[in-house]
Amino acid sequence: MKSKAEILDHYNSLISDIASARVKAAEARLPRFCKYHLEHSLDVRKQVGGEPNPRYNFIITSRTLGLCVKGSEDPETWNGDICEDDVDAQRCPYFELKVTKEQLLTQVNKELSDLDWLKQNQPDVYALAWVLEETPKLSWWQRLWLKLRPLRVRRALPVVPLLPSGDPK
């Protein structure tokens, strides 16, 4: 049988794993994590006021379209870039994280304090919290680690130019 100290160590390591996973997920270079990403809803109306809608989207794979809104303040220079796929964000030189360290810390604390969320998503932590009769929370050193650790985003992938169709390479 495990001692209380061994159970506490395992419990704290599981909580650290949750925090590390949240940081890793937040650092992912994905469109939805960029501060310039906007999910714009598509126009699915076939008619507007009895007239055919020229903006009707007849090819519907989803009801939204991901757009990069960096520079959209000036419509003269903004070219309305589409940022839908993961590779778009991985090649984007303007990518910036949407989430801050403070927001990340708040999110982790909120998830750990929500016992229903823990029961659904982290049953091991929930069971140990029940056994130890404790409310899961980040320890002081885990909070310090989250505050001091910078959020790092991988560099953008290089954009490989497409070869002209007549080039034999």
Burial 121-158 (b: 16+ CB within 10 A, else e): ebeebbebbeeeeeebebeeebeeebeeeeeebeeeee
Residue-wise pLDDT for 125-155, tens only, equals 888 888 888 888 888 878 888 787 877 777 7
Kindly state whether residues 68 and 113 are assigned to the same domain: no
pLDDT of residue 159: 65
pLDDT of residue 145: 81
Residue 59 CB contacts under 8 Å (≥ 6 apart), including other chains? none
CB 128 within 8 Å of CB 6: no
Kindly state whether residues 61 and 103 are assigned to the same domain: no
The residue type at 116: D
Pairing of strands 51-52, 47-48: antiparallel
pLDDT of residue 167: 54
Q: What SS3 class is residue 40?
A: strand
Kindly state whether residues 34 and 92 are assigned to the same domain: yes
> Which of 66, 96, 126 delimits the end of a domain?
96
Kindly state whether residues 124 and 146 are assigned to the same domain: yes
45 HSE (CA, 13 A, CB side): 10
Q: Which domain holds residue 104?
A: 1-27+99-156
In a domain, 120, yes or no: yes
pLDDT of residue 161: 63
Q: Which two tokens stand for residue 150?
A: 């910078």
Distance CA 87, CA 154 (A): 13
Distance CA 15, CA 21 (A): 10
Nearest to 68 by CA among 81, 77, 53, 79: 81
Stretches in the chain below the pLDDT threshold 70: 42-45, 54-62, 159-169
> Which of 49, 73, 96 delimits the end of a domain?
96
Q: What SS3 class is residue 41?
A: strand
Kindly state whether residues 46 and 7 are assigned to the same domain: no
pLDDT of residue 68: 85
Provide the domain count of the chain.
2
CB 15 within 8 Å of CB 140: no
In a domain, 3, yes or no: yes
> Which of 44, 69, 96 delimits the end of a domain?
96
Q: What SS3 class is residue 60?
A: coil
In a domain, 165, yes or no: no
pLDDT of residue 143: 81
Kindly state whether residues 37 and 90 are assigned to the same domain: yes
